[in-house]
Amino acid sequence: MRRILAHKIIYLDRVYTMAVATIDGNRVVDIRPFDEETSSTVFISGTIRLVPRDNDVEIIKNP
């Protein structure tokens, strides 16, 4: 399982501002607002798009 914090996360045509996404394999398990630092969370500055694939979730950084 991995966690990603970004200024903006786009997933299934919804936009989450300053949020943490929890990804398990090829599923986005949870997206919630950032309220406290959590260990093992990767920060990506800017906007990202999460795209589920067969074996993984692709993280696309928007320019």
- The Cα–Cα gap between 45 and 52 comes to 21
Q: Provide the whole-model pTM.
A: 0.91
- The alpha carbon torsion through 38, 42, 46, 52 (nearest 10 deg) reads -110
Query: Residue ranges of the chain with pLDDT lower than 50?
Result: none
Tracing tokens 């997206």 back to the chain, one arrives at 31
What pLDDT score does 49 carry?
97
Q: b/e string for 16-44 if b means 16 or more Cβ within 10 A?
A: beebbbbbeeeebeebeebeeeeeeeeee
